[in-house]
Structure 1
Amino acid sequence: MARVGASDNLQPKSSFDIQMTQSTKGNNNENSSGGEGGSCESSSGDNSSSNGIKLKKEISLLDGVAIIVGVIVGSGIFVSPKGVLIHSGSILQSIIVWILSGILSLVGALCYAELGTMIPKSGGDYAYIDVAFGPLPAFLYLWVALLILIPTGNAITALTFAQYLLQPFWPSCEAPVEAVQLLAAVITCFLTMVNCYNVKWVTRITDIFTGTKILALLIIVGAGAYYLFTGNTEKWDYPLEGSQLSPGFIALAFYNGLFSYSGWNYLNYVTEELKDPYKNLPRAICISLPLVTTIYVVTNIAYFSVLTPDEILSSEAVAVTFGDKMLGFMAWLMPFFVACSTFGALNGAIFGASRLLFVGARNGHLPAAISLINVKFLTPIPSLLFLGVVTLILLFIRDMYALINYVQFVEAFFTFMSISGLLWLRKKNPDSNRPIKVNLSLPILYLIICGFLMISSIYVSPMEVGIGSAIIVSGIPIYYLTIYRPVEVLTSMSQKLNIWCSKFFLCMPNQEKID
């Protein structure tokens, strides 16, 4: 199997790749037998690491499905499905885009299933790009994810939660910005604490709130079906009226549709904590993506049956507008369900994203302190706290939403690179163990469509594409200053931070053998 660790790829060693040989030798002897409250699992099939500190495999198939569905079905389907409608122009074309976006996401997820079972390590795109193309492209993905993709998405999800939880207290106006930011900060800290303490609590929260958001969507679908089957079919008399057939508008419609499906690869971030990943990773994908696609399509049909396109486009939260029109005195349920949905999505995003940072640090691309694991709870506490702090900072930046305009192209670019890596690894390492091997037509189809979307977006949104590309390129000098030719002062700072975190948070380096 291709090696995921950085020891073969990163030459010379990064200033961040600091080993704790001397400072943790004593802790090793004290805690190797389990320590206080910490039962250290052995690696499957590897007796040499039977006493090593490593992440525990506690995620079942049901938990995996709940994570994927919980992260994908965030606030988007409740708050703003109008992005697809704006660029599609008609309700039928919008429905077609939602269906095809789901199918394309499933194709991508199946390709990631092959990557995830061939490279059964946490980190998702980062791990796959590292194995296929080397440390620099992998670092650039980590750089963009750390700078924009992860903390910005988490911050916006937390703010959305706060806005809709506070809405009943300010029914005639928007809640004060300060109150929204404070509640968002509180919930971010709370979920970070839960993630630090117990993985089982994380999965239970994910399971419960995934069920809650599915219930909310079933209420919308039921109300829409009742409205439609009682003879109110006039909104479907001209379903193709206003269709936008320009390739640029079609690309933007798909971008918005695919953005609502983003999160289908989050289970790949936590592969090392998934029970029997060779079976449960593809099973979770094959269950969750068709389920989400079906939910999205029937929910949009319900929206279009009750609300006019103008009502959808003018609404700040389509589900709330739908509830006001259909649920009467129970309309308060929709803001509550939006809050529940975003709460579950934020919990799953914190869990998955912290593992990306953990693996990046373990490979020497971030300060080594972020790769430490708490000896009692067996969770990457420094990684979780680092992510939490960055998210808290972004909560109080007023123009943070502007960053979202540049995310979609960047995400598509690195997904394109990961799928390209699948084809490259088939040629480079044809004899690698592949428990799942998808038909060659699937990655080729995905690359063609993804390439079309990226090229089209250059013509339609050149500024957003340019700024997104500039953010990616800005990571190159950072790589050479901190990884390839490290500055001595950074090496010293990283080592001091590493030792301090290991003592303060009772952590040790990951000791699982990385093959």
Structure 2
Amino acid sequence: MAEFRQRRFSNKSDNDDSNSERVELKKEVGLIGGLSLVVGTMIGSGIFLSPAGILREAQSVGASLCIWAGCGLLATLGALCYLELGLMIQKSGGAYIYLREAYGNVIGYLVVWTTVVVTGPSASAILAVGFAEYATTPFYPHCTPPATVQKCAAAFSILIIVSINCFSVKLANAIQIFFTAAKLLIIAAIIVGGFVMLGQGKTENFNNAFEGSATSFSAIAVAFYSGLWSYDGWNQLNSVTAEVKNPVKNFPLVVMIGIPLVTVLYILVNIAYFTVMTPAEMMQSNAVAVTFGDRVFGPASFLVPIFVVFSTFGSANGTVFSTGRVGYAAGKNGHMVRLLSYVSVTRLTPAPALTLQGTIAVIMIIPNTSTFSSLIDYFTFATWIFHGFTFLSVLVLRYQKPNWKRPYRVFLPIPVICFLASLYLIVAPILEDPAIEYLYAAIFILAGLTFYIPFVHFKIVPTFMGPLTIYLQELLEVVPPPEDELMLDGEVEEELEKSHAF
């Protein structure tokens, strides 16, 4: 510990010419790891639990399948926009980094404020609650598990995931690959089971498939919200770009393989569901995959809840892994407390940023889960506000920085289409069915300015932060990133200009 105390405020090795002792995040995410991160995070609880929500809004089998396909297309096009930005600015942090560069510090701060404090932890909390629901049910075969037991199980799963991610990037990556393989296995089983039934003539639900389809702009937008939640994670690799091996090669492969693959699987799984269940039965089921398993897999149906547990745990692991890097990037750039940018001396992981995310997620589990889940719909609305800004930033940066190196250039109509789609998703529900919760979401985003103005713009540092940082630094055994990586306002632009100089 004496040696660690000496290095408390420094990340310099004794030999400044060597990088072997630099305490920083390493490039340990390869092609398989990247695919597992994106695919494994996207395939969470949505495809197993929420098809009924899309069907309820779409009001027909055909419209429901079209919305699943449309969500996949939008996710793919959006990922192509993020691909250009990620390869142009090869830093972890995702939309936070791009929006800061395109629009300035204020917009960049608001997206990181929303991501680190709400959307990232809330996504982890929702997945943990889904995990707990299915993990505890076998212990209460004749009744619903007590809410306290479920919440404890959800909190425990988050603590385990955060501990794994703090312990080792390689271990977190290996776990992500394992659980991704597990969820692909159950999805393949559902598809095969459904198509066997389809081959036996179970086609009645596809007759007049578009009869009664929804025509309301609001209903279609809300249906897309439910579908896009199931696709959430398509942009996860942008949050960890700095840790991707050979990003110019692997990044496009992950996007071109991973997202279309998930889209095809989602459509095939829904066809399998409609082969076995009528639309009315689907809408009455709280867990469509479990109902499907009971009817198709017979004695082996008990495996479905187990694989749903695997799926939610793996998705939560991917969410924690990527969102922790957003907090790390914000701390490094001075938009969050600097402690979030510190790296474990022995594990080379962003332990403080991961710990903060896990702590907020556990706190979010405490309230009544139904109220919590309803509010998340409106924070999904907030997320697509920032997605819209990010799509537009492709055009903004093409104009502002025409000479920057772009290993991949997206076809310009694509970000325009994605921006218009985002605008539709944001505006349609408000115009057709105004709700006070949309205002709450907007107020929360703007509330970030109450922290930005004193602590970021005017750089006011509370007196207790110094001793608290030293204490937490020694407790967690973390050190600041290398001095050449720690950037203040104004230095980010200079550093990016240097990286793009020909």
Structure 1 length as normaliser, TM-score? 0.90
Compute the displacement of 1:461 (Å): 4.0
Cα offsets for 1:207-237 (capped at 9, x unmatched): 0100100111111111110111101111112
How far apart, in 2, do the equivalents of 1:196 and 1:405 lie? 30
Structure 1 residues 486, 82: closer, same or farther in 2, change over 3 A? Answer: same
Question: Are 1:94 and 2:94 counterparts?
Answer: no
Unmatched 5+ stretches in structure 2: 486-494, 496-502
1:383 maps to a residue whose letter is A
Query: For 1:317-373, what per-residue CA distance to the aligned partner results, in whole angstroms no more than 9, with x for missing partners?
Result: 110111111111111111111100001011111111111111111111111111100
1:482 — aligned with what? 455
1:119 aligns with 2:119: no
Over 3 Å counting, the alpha-carbon distance change for 1:131 and 1:24 in structure 2 is: farther
AA paired with 2:181? G
**Partner residue in 2 for 1:318:** 288
Q: In structure 2, what is the equivalent of residue 510 of structure 1?
A: 481
Normalising to structure 2: TM-score of the pair?
0.92
CA distance in 2, matches of 1:214, 1:196: 26
Q: Which letter does structure 1 place at the counterpart of 2:444?
A: I
CA contact 1:168–1:332 (8 Å) conserved in 2: no
Given that residues 72 and 263 in structure 2 are in contact (C-alpha distance below 8 angstroms), is that contact kept between their aligned partners in structure 1? Answer: yes
Q: Deviations over 1:256-308 (max 9, x none)?
A: 22221111111111111110112111111111001000010000011111111
> Taking structure 1 as reference, are residues 369 and 461 closer, same or farther at Cα in structure 2, changes over 3 Å only?
farther
Is 1:418 aligned to 2:390, yes or no?
yes
Counterpart of 2:133, as a letter, is: Q
Question: More deviation in 169-178 or 132-141?
Answer: 169-178
Question: Which residues of 2 match residues 109-508 of structure 1 at below 5 A?
Answer: 109-398=79-368, 399-463=371-435, 464-488=437-461, 490=462, 492-508=463-479
Residue 368 of structure 1 contacts residue 494 of structure 1 at CA under 8 Å; is this kept in 2? no
Are 2:7 and 2:479, in contact at CA under 8 Å, matched by a contact in 1?
no
Deviations 1:399-453 (A, max 9, x none): 3223212122101100001111111010001000111111111111111222122
Query: Counterparts of 1:24 and 1:365 in 2: how far apart (Å)?
Result: 26
Conservation of the 8 A alpha-carbon contact between 1:152 and 1:403 = no
**Which structure 1 residue ranges, 5 or more long, are not aligned?**
1-22, 35-41
Aligned equivalents of 2:117, 2:8: Cα separation in 1: 34
What's the secondary structure of 2:307's corresponding residue?
helix
CA RMSD of aligned residues (A): 1.9
Are the counterparts in 2 of residues 31 and 375 from structure 1 also a CA contact under 8 Å?
A: no
2:49 and 2:227 map into 1 onto residues whose CA distance is: 14
**Distance in 1 of aligned mates of 2:232 and 2:344:** 30
State the 1:146 CA deviation.
2.5
Q: Report the Cα distance in structure 2 between the residues aligned to 1:28 and 1:499, rounded to whole angstroms.
A: 9
Runs of 4+ in 1 over 4 A off after TM superposition: 23-31, 47-51
**Partner of 1:20 in structure 2?**
none
How far the C-alpha of 1:462 sits from its partner, in A, is 2.2
Shift of 1:465: 2.2
> Percent of aligned pairs with the same residue?
36
Q: Is the 8 A contact 2:217 2:432 kept in 1?
A: no
Q: How many residues of Structure 1 are paired with residues of Structure 2 in the alignment?
A: 480
Please state whether the residue corresponding to 1:232 is helix, strand or coil. Answer: coil
Matched residues in 2 for 1:30 and 1:65: separation?
32
Specify whether residues 390 and 240 from structure 1 end up closer, same or farther in structure 2 by C-alpha distance, changes over 3 A only.
same
8 Å contact kept, 1:49–1:512: no
Work out whether residues 106 and 285 of structure 1, in 8 Å CA contact, stay in contact via their aligned partners in 2.
yes
Q: Is the 8 A contact 2:241 2:247 kept in 1?
A: yes
